[in-house]
Amino acid sequence: MDYMQNIIFFILLSFSIGLFIRNTNRIVRNIKLGKDVNRNDQKTKRWIHMTSAALGQSKMVIRPIAGFLHLVVYIGFILINIELLEIIIDGLSGSHRIFAPFLGSFYNILTAVFEVLAFLVLIAVIFFWSRRNIIKIQRFWKSEMKGWPKKDANIILYFEVVLMLLFLSMNTTDSLLQSLDSSHYIKAGFFPISQFLIPLFDGFQIESLIVLERTFWWMHIIGIFAFLNYLYYSKHLHILLAFPNTYFSNLNPKGKFEVDENIKNEVQLMLDPNKESPNNPLPPEKFGSSDVFDLNWVQLMNAYSCTECGRCTSVCPANLTGKKLSPRKIMMDTRDRLEEVGKNMNINGDFKPDGKQLLNDYISSEELWACTSCNACVDSCPIEIDPLSIIMDMRQYLVMEQSAAPSELNTMMGNIENNGAPWPFSNQDRLQWVDDQLN
């Protein structure tokens, strides 16, 4: 019987890892659809920044209560899953608590820490669920958070509650079997939290406790494998992508925009006809971006990394004044379009034109022009996502490819071209106001 359990566990483990690898490859493929951008400079600074922002949660703790509880869930998620390695070895070999003989008394400390963290995770998750569903904090109830995004946020919280309860129940029945000197259940571990659950199982026969312990054990590991592969469909993909996302983030000063070399060369030639033309005078196929293929791969990774926390939208002055723009929605729309493209490729091998694009089908020009380019959204994101770069690239497409700028902007650009200033006065009339004052 034990032999068959090991085989079943091996099949389950292999299937879960295989599915995870397949989904990961699809995400990497989709991200690589973006244009190349060099983010391999300042490597030391990038490592420090990643350690601070992704590992140290430096931006999360700006809001102390939510930041601390998020840190608890984060640390708990990482440390408790160290136990996953032991479960996998036990499942493959048929052993039980295989690390205990090698770690001695330190094993008791580890199990105690795991249990305390599991309890703290439960408290944090209940707090987060209450904020979303009872207190109803405004940024969690914006229009883009209806339907699946709202369900997804709650599903993750339910997942974490169930996994922690299964973990504690597994330890409770395990400790009871240890106290009853049941064979195979070696005496190991200290259980400061699950001991309070003993009254729920006290009085059960050994055979019943073994069934319960094995049930909790299997449900716990199956839940972990399910959670691992659910990440592909969830906003919680940031658990994995936060690290590369912060490493490859834009380290330039906020507000510094990339210069299009093609436009720069054209302007320089206009200002100085004697300037030598570049070796490759051919213009790009397209100025700006109208679809995910036009964005760079870091922007596409940003879209997959977004956890939909809404901190960007909550500080956006356009959104706060009732404009249609939501930086969070920009990232969610980009991810949705990228996923649509990916599914197209899954079916057809290569992308087959579907008559859709990111601009207009997902993001409207009204949203793009509502942006004040203040960088508040970029500054507030805990993992350095940059909605502004996508907005500005799409604006460039509207202006340079479609001549679809708002009339006020067209007037300003015409004045700059004709008068060298945004105002409708010629060079000769600029100082007229001085004469008027003197007279």
**Taking Cα atoms as reference points, which of 117, 206, 205 lies closest to residue 164?**
117
**Predicted pLDDT at 185:** 87
Which phi and psi (to 5°) does residue 363 adopt?
Answer: -115, 125
Here the tokens at position 338 are: 């990228």
Characterise 406 by phi-psi region: left (phi > 0), alpha (psi -120 to 50), beta (else): beta
CA atoms of 356 and 315, how far apart (whole Å): 31
Over residues 58-112, the pLDDT tens digits come to 888 888 888 888 888 888 777 777 788 889 998 998 888 888 888 888 999 999 9
Over residues 160-169, the pLDDT tens digits come to 999 999 999 9
Long-range contacts of 106-114 (CB under 8 A, 24+ apart): 107/188, 107/189, 108/188, 108/189, 108/190, 109/190, 110/82, 111/171, 111/188, 111/189, 111/190, 111/191, 112/189, 112/190, 112/191, 112/192, 113/79, 114/79, 114/80, 114/82, 114/83, 114/167
- Is it the case that residue 265 has pLDDT exceeding 90? no
Minimum mean pLDDT range among 56-70, 130-144, 278-292: 278-292
Structural element, H or E, at residue 319: helix 317-320
**Taking Cα atoms as reference points, which of 437, 30, 432, 70 lies closest to residue 232?**
30
**Mean pLDDT of the region 188-198:** 92
- Is it the case that residue 279 has pLDDT exceeding 70? no
Cα–Cα distance list, 387 to 38, 300, 305 (Å): 18, 11, 12
User: Number of helices and strands (H, E) in the chain?
Assistant: 21, 0
The pTM (predicted TM-score) of the whole model is 0.88
- Is it the case that residue 1 has pLDDT exceeding 60? no
Which CATH number is 270-405's, of 1.10.8, 1.10.1060, 3.90.1070, 1.10.10? 1.10.1060
Q: For residue 278, how far is the Cα from the chain centroid?
A: 40
Minimum mean pLDDT range among 19-33, 177-191, 249-263, 320-334: 249-263
Minimum mean pLDDT range among 268-277, 340-349, 387-396: 268-277
CA atoms of 384 and 248, how far apart (whole Å): 9
CA atoms of 97 and 90, how far apart (whole Å): 7
- Is it the case that residue 283 has pLDDT exceeding 80? no
**Predicted pLDDT at 396:** 93
The domain ranges of the chain are 2-31+63-247, 270-405
The HSE-up count of residue 102 (CA atoms within 13 Å, CB side) is 5
- Compare 293 and 95 and report the one with higher pLDDT: 293
Q: Sorting pLDDT into bands at 50, 70 and 90, what band is 303?
A: very high
CA atoms of 111 and 171, how far apart (whole Å): 9
- Compare 130 and 5 and report the one with higher pLDDT: 130
**Predicted pLDDT at 2:** 66
- Compare 173 and 270 and report the one with higher pLDDT: 173
Over residues 394-420, the pLDDT tens digits come to 999 999 888 888 888 888 888 887 877
Minimum mean pLDDT range among 6-20, 266-280, 288-302: 266-280
**Predicted pLDDT at 410:** 83
